[in-house]
């Protein structure tokens, strides 16, 4: 086995959390903005061993690439769907789903049943079938969740 330095987006540090045989590796890497480093979620395709700017995931709608928000990718499946957590100006950490080719991250709380009282803060895994697990709060109490995909017709 050989260890290779992954690199970062101009910052000093990076950390990989999951590797998938088909989709690649996800984690976070520091992006240098105005003299400070901000974690940014990434997907490095399989058989690629060094980060490049094109591997950085976008933020939530309205977040600019050089903004001072933070994101971390924790899980990836065979369809290159990615889950993790990212900060927002109003809610702090928010769980996200990234779909390949999407312009922005999707807030997972927005996909929870309306009126159920869920605030999803972090997603840590996604199966190839689209099941997502993570943590958040339900009616103010700390809870873990599993989300099941909606069947398509």
Separation between Cα atoms, residue 153 and residue 8, nearest integer Å: 41
At 5 the pLDDT is 78
Q: Say if CB 106 and CB 58 are below 8 A apart.
A: no
Buried b (16+ CB within 10 A) or exposed e, 47-61: eeeebeeebbbbbbe
Residues 89/93/95/98 CA torsion (nearest 10 deg): 50
Tokens encoding 62: 């309205």
**In the block, residue with structure tokens 């190839």:** 128
pLDDT tens for 99-115 read 999 999 999 999 988 88
Proportion of the chain above pLDDT 90, given as a percent: 73
- At residue 66, does pLDDT exceed 70? yes
Pairing label, strands 36-44, 24-33: antiparallel
């Amino acid at each position: 086995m050989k260890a290779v330095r992954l690199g970062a987006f101009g910052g000093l540090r990076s950390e990989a959390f999951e590797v998938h045989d088909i989709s690649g590796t996800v984690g976070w890497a520091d992006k240098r903005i105005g003299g400070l480093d901000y974690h940014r979620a990434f997907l490095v395709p399989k058989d690629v061993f060094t980060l490049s700017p094109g591997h950085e995931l976008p933020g939530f709608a309205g977040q600019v690439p050089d903004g001072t928000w933070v994101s971390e990718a924790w899980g990836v499946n065979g369809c290159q769907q990615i889950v993790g957590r990212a900060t927002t100006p109003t809610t702090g950490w928010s769980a996200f789903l990234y779909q390949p080719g999407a312009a922005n991250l999707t807030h997972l709380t927005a996909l929870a049943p309306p009126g159920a009282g869920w605030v999803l803060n972090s997603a840590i895994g996604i199966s190839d079938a689209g099941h997502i697990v993570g943590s958040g709060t339900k009616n103010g109490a700390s809870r873990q969740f599993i989300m099941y995909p909606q069947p398509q017709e």
